[in-house]
Amino acid sequence: MAPLGTCEEIVALLAPHNTAPDGSGPQGMGEELGMAVLYGPGFVVEMPLTAGEGGAGNGEISQIMVTVTDEDFAWSVLMRLCRQLQWKMLDPESGRTFG
């Protein structure tokens, strides 16, 4: 699986889609230790704060988890995000792939 980028790169890629961390926690990525949490319209994104060269948050990330909290808002944004970034999403419950 090809890496999506570093945590910093992914945050920058998601920013135009109104998705960002809330600024809490020691690194501004949420209170959960070792995990970055970003909030978008109708969904929450979680990704590991991986260590790489130069310190925490600099390692390559190959997967992120998206939890839909409001289907009416989330799906159009997530489909546009996948199309523009050429990403794929997998629904683990149904096995369907999106994007």
Written in H, E and C, the secondary structure of 41-65 is: CCEEEEEECCEECCEECCCEECCCE
Kindly give the residue spans of alpha helices, DSSP state H, lying in the chain: 7-14, 71-85
Provide the whole-model pTM. 0.86
pLDDT of res. 83: 94
Tokens of 67: 């939890």
Contact 24, 31 (CB under 8 A): yes
3-state DSSP call for residue 35? strand
> What is the arithmetic mean of pLDDT over 48-57?
62
pLDDT of res. 37: 95
pLDDT of res. 53: 53
Q: Distance (Å, rounded) from C-alpha 41 to C-alpha 65?
A: 15
Q: What residues form DSSP beta bridges with 44? A: 39, 67
